[in-house]
Chain A
């Protein structure tokens, strides 16, 4: 009995929770326009003028309804980045993103908000820096499904030189 007291009993459990999420009016328009027409839409607040991505019904800062749609450029600027060395699992597919990969925060021209996504560049500190110009690459139209994975990644625009 004395040794038995040293054993700690445990029990494993797996919980699998399915759910259906409704995107709502504003995100539905965003996802459908991106999927069907390759257009990236944001909304502009009539009061503070923030151009908000993803589009949402209310400006959280002003508490007014956002009712102006703005089409954004596919080009933007890299605001921050990381080179990920861990195999992060995509919870929507259960598959890992193979490391290392570059992941960044991009502000599309005309947008106040930033967008986090993959950056299609070698995971090499000499080839990536804050301030790089990037361009969004969409999945071929026939394969689009209507979520953020329809954006495959951002390409960096050619011919850029790292500032000193």
Chain B
């Protein structure tokens, strides 16, 4: 079997392209329709945990209650944590440098990850109060909020 070594290692380049379409379901559709049509941000209320969850969902992950009630949250919120992204990756929706932040909207108990913009990198800090800037053309996805900016 030594003679097999005379064959160069063979490699092949391929790619697989897959299309998909994700359905937002009961709660997800309510959230995106309210955002798109009324520029309102909804959370789901768990009566048992007495918490308002974003993103809204039909089951409380913690206590397994079925959730049906939505409440309006925000639009103002507070930066809980953030990072300045300084490298580029094809999957990133923005060109570096840009800021990702987790924003706890007023009235919500969980944070929303989104962009911060119209802000100096030096000014960003935990506790910064922010508000959303809505996209002019809204299609029912999370980029209907373009980004958050300081008050």
Contacts and interface: CB of A to CB of B under 8 A. Distances in A.
Given A4-B33, A9-B29, A9-B140, A16 B12 contact: no
Mostly helix, strand, loop or mixed at chain A's interface? mixed
Interface residues of B, number: 29
Interface in B7-31: 7-25, 28-30
A139 B151 CA distance: 68
B12 A147 contact: yes
A67 B4 CA distance: 10
A15 interface: yes
A92 interface: yes
Nearest to A25: B4
A79 to B, nearest CB: 27
Given A19-B15, A22-B11, A26-B4, A7 B33 contact: yes
Q: Is the interface of B mostly helix, strand, loop or mixed?
A: mixed
Nearest to A67: B1
Contacts of A17: 15-18
A32 B9 CA distance: 10
Interface residues of A, number: 33
A146 B9 CA distance: 12
Interface of A: 4-5, 7-29, 31-32, 67, 91-92, 94, 146-147
10 contacts: A4-B33, A10-B22, A10-B24, A13-B22, A17-B16, A21-B11, A26-B4, A28-B7, A28-B8, A146-B12
